[in-house]
Amino acid sequence: MTDATGAPLVVGIGGSTGAASTTNLLLRRGLEAAEALGARTASFTGAQLAVLPIFAADGDAPTPTALEMVAAVRAADAVIIATPGYHGGMSGLVKNAVDHLELLRDDERPYLDGRAVGVIVAAAGWQSCGTTLVSVRSAVHALRGWPTPFGVTVNSAEQHPDADGRFDERVTGALGILAAQLMQFAGWRAAARAAGR
């Protein structure tokens, strides 16, 4: 939720466990774009997601990492989900993290209700980028979230960061559009809440 300064919170979830993960880097750059527009941010990337147990609705008590991630999403005004595209869908690592959002089921704003969700996909081919984007958006819909109209897809076979971890202007521009849409939606929701709608 927006803090005393009115700055919305954007929470990033995703990435992979690879040391040079393009998806982790894209998530970081997406959150930086949101920060440049005035957001506060938090992120849960590959290393943190890797310690989450496989989600089971009737399983053991949630782990501290799961509780931390769920608390951040509970407070979020917007979310970014970034995933590698594996065989046309999101990675198991990211899907397991998304499955943990079931812990928000009984909240006043259950799951991703009332939150814009931006999607970032990195895959080695445009076809996998497209099908993965659709699969993540379908999961967001199932969780009552609002996928942004614009999604970011990066063909890792053709588009690479430079030595400083920066992407070309097409990718940077796409991340800027995604961040702007998240911030616009968060602003509209805040205005609606203030008006009692």
Total domains in the chain come to 1
- Residue 46 belongs to a domain: yes
- Residue 62 belongs to a domain: yes
- CATH number of the CATH domain containing 85: 3.40.50.360
4: confidence class by pLDDT, cuts 50, 70, 90: low
pLDDT tens for 84-100 read 999 989 999 999 999 99
- Residue 3 belongs to a domain: no
pLDDT of residue 1: 58
- Residue 2 belongs to a domain: no
- Residue 1 belongs to a domain: no
Residues paired with 146 in a beta bridge: 116
pLDDT tens for 139-179 read 999 999 999 999 999 999 898 898 888 899 999 999 999 99
Q: Which domain holds residue 154?
A: 9-194
- Residue 4 belongs to a domain: no
- Residue 103 belongs to a domain: yes
Name the 3-class secondary structure at 108: coil
CA dihedral 100, 188, 121, 45 (to 10 degrees): -50
- Residue 177 belongs to a domain: yes
Would you say the pTM of this structure is higher than 0.85? yes
Q: In 77-112, which positions are buried (b, 16+ CB within 10 angstroms) versus exposed (e)?
A: bbbbbbbbbbeebbbebbbbbbbbbebbeeeeeebb
